[in-house]
Every structure is written in structure tokens, then in C-alpha cells.
Amino acid sequence: MLLTSRRDILLAASLVALLGASSAFSFESKDPAPPVVNTLPPLDAPKPTVHPNVTFHAAPKALAIGAVTSDWPCFLGATHDMRSPETKLLKEWLKEGPPLLWEMKRGTGYTSPSIAGERLVYMHREGDEEIVECLKAETGERLWRFAYPTTYEDRYGYNNGPRASPLIIDGKVYTYGAQGKLHCLELTTGRVYWSREIDREFKVPQDFFGTATTPLLEGNLLIINVGAPDGPCVAAFDKDSGKMAWSSDANGWGPSYASPIPGTVQGVRRVFVFAGGASKPPTGGLVCIDPANGNVDFTFPWRSKSFESVNASCPVVIGNQVFISATYQTGGVLLNILPGIKPEVAWKSDEFGIHFMTAIHKDGYLYGFDGRHDQNSQLTCFEVKTGKEMWREQPKWTETIPYTDRVTKEKKTREVTVGDYRGSLLEADGHFFCLGEAGHLQCWQLTPQGMKEIARSWLFAASETWTPLVLSKGLLYVVQNHKDDLTGAPPRLMCFDLRGK
């Protein structure tokens, strides 16, 4: 770990103050294409029907008496930090995993589902269409389906599906596709209120891996890291009309793969955008914005010097501090937000570079997977106050897998060493649930003293298991992005019963 000296901290703070002072303005730009808002006459919500791609296994157990439950209406959950208030959850289960309630064969994409009440909204791609589906969260029954055309192709050969998760609020659903197509839908029916093509309207070129930032609703405004080369970097749109309310230039930084995060610092509401996409020379970093008017309080450069790199881990707001992190020889930094909304570097570490998961803060400590590649990623714990690394682990174990001998054609088994690699974490009920990159689900106790495994299962042997877990009303939703190499099971959305006693 590399901590800055007091002199370095003061120099960095001075530089940031100058950057912030030069950036404290909103970017005046005209809305290029205000959308037409459709008037939707009253219509009864459709009745649930059997989904042709859903296999139903069992109904969930009843919730335990006194169990606390919550919705999961957006990416990272209602509190935007992968922490859930739910209680009385199952923490130990059989080797095959918690009870599987239903599974849906799905198309391509990396999105996580969002849940409000009994409705689950999920987005994926089949053929040349991006699809938004609304299901009953407990059964997987279909309530409605909405689709529109797309021609997006990933330039690096990853899948061509959507990346940003749906946002559910006030009876509406907002979706943002891989080509920057933004839709506002009616939650009960899937009918379109309005739509925009953000990338086309603002002349945003295709980034490395498509449009991936999930919009944030703050008040009546939908805030998006647009990342247009000539501005805006960030823009806000009225949630009901879709018209642009304000825009911010923020050094002309491009769109990242992180999502805007709200927070209250020094007694005022702010939105933190970790921007920075494909640009030469590489630029990007943290933008602090007043959501009421788009004024930029400060910008803090923080991005790899490599062209083909990404800012993908969302900011973590901790009181009057903000933590950001990136890989590609970048690392993490904790900023103090001073009165007047000015940043000051508290500490840096080039040993805490998170690729795309969002670090979780609990009781004065940050937990996350440091590392760019799957084989070198390690679970780490850092003290927020000092930046001290408390411990570092690389969980590994052996699995027995079947195979067929190429010569004799005999069916055999062999032992392989596997791990979580670039996993993701969800904190709930005093424990951490981890989804490993190769499809393992675990329950851990994580403290500043170390980690203790409570349960572990291999749900599927599929790579690119990068979509974070979703928890709502005691049910855990897991997304499998690739075919299971052992069973041949296709990509799936799966619902597990995590209701305990």
C-alpha cells in the first residue's frame, strides 16, 4: 500500500481546489431533441401468464415473523451502496445452494433486475431487439414485454446485450440500452410514455463496451453521465417529460461504466459522477454536482493513463467523504469533502484498485476486490480513517468436475482449483453474500480481523459472472451471463429462496 505524505496531500488538495474553482459552472447547451410525451388512457394491468422461457420449481417459504424486507428498485439497491436492510435471511444452505424457485432462459446482456412490490423488471437482448420484461417476482410469471430494435455490436467481442439496469420509481420504469436508447415506461402495462436516443442526439460515439451507466433519479430529474465529446458530460432530464433540465460540461469527460451516486455532504445534497470513457489522451474522474441546477462544485481527475481502460466502480459516499477506485495501475483514493464542497485528499492506495464492483463500507471499513484480472484479484479490507490495509485474501478451493477422456472416451473426474476472482459483494443481515466470477455463491462474515466462510455453493460454471446480486423480500436474484460449461445450461436469470427463520 502506498500512502501519500502530508506534503503530497496538501499539494493535491491545492491542485484540486484550483480545478474545482475553474469548474464551478453548469454547461449551457440546448436540448437537441425534446421527446413527445404520449398520453396513456387508463388500462388495467395485464394478468400474469406463464412465461415460455421460465421453469418454475417451487413457491418461496413464508417470511419469518418480524423479518424486515425492502424493494430493490435500481442498480446497487435503494440506498445505492449494495447494502440491504433485510433481516432473518438464510445464511447456511446445502451444497447445491439455497432452494431454487424459478429460472428464466434469457438472451444476452449484463444487467441486474430491479424490483418494486411484486413486480420484477429485467432487460436483455434477443436477436436484433432489446427486451424489457416485467415478471412476478416470486413466480417468474410474465406481466408484460416491451421490445425495440438495436444494432449494437461490442467491439471487443463481449456480448451485445444491455448493460444498465432498470430504474423503477413512482409507477414508471426507466431503461437505458447499450446504444443509449432511453425509455420511460408505465410500470403496470409497459406502455411508452416517452423515449430518447441519447447517444445519437448528443453525438456520443460508441465507447469501448457500449452505454452502461444506469440513470439516477434525484427529485424530479433523471441524471445521466452522457459523456458527449463537445459536452455535456452530465445532463438531467425531467422524469415526466424527458426534456433536458440542465447540463454540465465537467472538463468534457466521457461516459464511464459507473453510475451516478447521490449523497449528503456538509449538509447539502449532491450527486457524484465517476466519469471517463474512451478518450485520447485518457481523461476522467470524479464530478461533484448540485442536482438542483447542474452546477459543478469540483472535478477530481482519477483515471488510468491507459487508453483502453474504464472507470466502472461507483463512488462510495461515507459521511463527508467519498471513495473512488479504478484498476489499470490507478488504485483508490478517499476524499474529504470540506465546507464549501471542496475536496481534500485523505489518503491514496495503489493497492486498492477495483475493476467494476462497488466497494462496501461497513463500520468504518471498506471491503472490495482489488485487481484487474481474474487470476490476480484479491479480497481486501481497508480502514477508512487511515487508509491502512487490514488484510488481503485470495479465496481458493478445489472442485471436482467431470470430463470425457479424449482417447478412451471414458467418463472421468478431476480436481481443479477455482476462486471468486473479480467477485461482487452484497451486505445484509450482518453478513456478506458474494457472487464469484465463475458462478459461486458464498456467505461470509467479514470484519477488520479477517473473513470467515459460512456457506459456499457452485450454482453454475459460467464465466463473466459480473452482474451483482439483487435481494428483495428474502429472495435472491442471480444472473448467469454465459453457458454453464459443465451442464450446458444457457444464460439464465435465477431466483433463490433466502428466507430464514
pLDDT of the chain, 501 residues: tens digit per residue: 344 443 343 334 433 433 443 344 455 679 999 999 999 999 999 999 999 999 999 999 999 999 999 999 999 999 999 999 999 999 999 999 999 999 999 999 999 999 999 999 999 999 999 999 999 999 999 999 999 999 999 988 889 999 999 999 999 999 999 999 999 999 999 999 999 999 999 999 988 889 999 999 999 999 999 999 989 999 999 999 999 999 999 998 999 999 999 999 999 999 999 999 888 898 999 999 999 999 999 999 999 998 888 899 999 999 999 999 999 899 999 999 999 999 999 999 999 999 999 999 999 999 999 998 878 899 999 999 999 999 999 999 999 999 888 899 899 999 999 999 999 999 999 999 999 999 999 999 999 999 999 999 999 999 999 999 999 999 999 999 999 999 999 999 999 999 999
The three-state secondary structure class of 14 is helix
Domain assignment present for 224: no
Domain assignment present for 60: no
Domain assignment present for 316: no
Neighbours of 5 (CB within 10 A): 8
Strand partners, 287: 273, 299
Domain assignment present for 182: yes
Please give the single-letter amino acid code of residue 414: R
Domain that residue 167 falls in: 111-210
Pairing of strands 216-218, 192-197: unpaired
Please give the single-letter amino acid code of residue 309: S
Domain assignment present for 469: no
Domain assignment present for 320: no
CATH number for the domain that contains residue 176? 2.40.10.480
Query: What's phi and psi for 378, nearest 5 deg?
Result: -135, 140
**Predicted TM-score of the model (pTM):** 0.94
Contact 180, 142 (CB under 8 A): no
Neighbours of 169 (CB within 10 A): 15
Domain assignment present for 67: no
Domain assignment present for 119: yes
Neighbours of 286 (CB within 10 A): 27
- CB under 8 Å to 351, separation ≥6 — which residues? 1, 2, 331, 370, 380, 389
Q: In the 8-state DSSP scheme, what is residue 499?
A: B
How many distinct structural domains can be found in the chain?
1
Pairing of strands 83-84, 424-428: parallel
